[in-house]
Amino acid sequence: MPQRFQKRYEPKVRKNHQIRAPRVRVIDNKGKNLGIMDTTAAIKLAQETELDLIEVTSKTDPPITRIMEYGKYLYQQGKKQKKTKQIFGEVKGVRIGMTTSEHDMRVKAKMVDKFLKKGYKVRVELIMKGREKALSKLADKKIEEFLNTLEHGYSVEQEPKRHPKGMQLVVTSQ
């Protein structure tokens, strides 16, 4: 059955005449607080400087608005969101096995170094099969051996812990 009523489009960021509050706190384009004024007066002030009145937050009473270019504001918000995504960042993963040769360990260590230089967190997984799962001391030794081959400064964010397929730890750059 088709939907009869469409959802009303609510802009994420209100600007100029979309601001519903009768009085707003205004900040100019240089960051100076102009105080609380009527919304219509604030819109006129923004139009005189050929800029927009943008509602920064509606959660306070009165809402906080800023006089600036709307496109510039959206660009800054986009950059801010990208930065927060980067900060929480992806966790890259590297898997090694109990029988991984020394050369392969060095290759994977170089990969981890590359990830750490780019600012990623790296999950190092030691895969253990069958009877290998009973050899926890050898697994600890293998992980320590791998960490010693890393060239880039690192800190262990999450200590090695067991999981069903073996052991894992999370490494970040210092």
This prediction's pTM: 0.51
- Give the structural domain span for 50: 16-84
Residue 7 lies in a domain: no
46-103 pLDDT, tens digit each: 999 889 899 988 888 889 999 999 889 889 888 888 877 665 568 899 999 999 999 9
Where is the domain boundary, 56, 84, 112?
84
Where is the domain boundary, 84, 111, 127?
84
CA distance 53 to 45: 9
37 phi/psi in degrees, rounded to 5: -150, 170
pLDDT value at position 88? Answer: 59
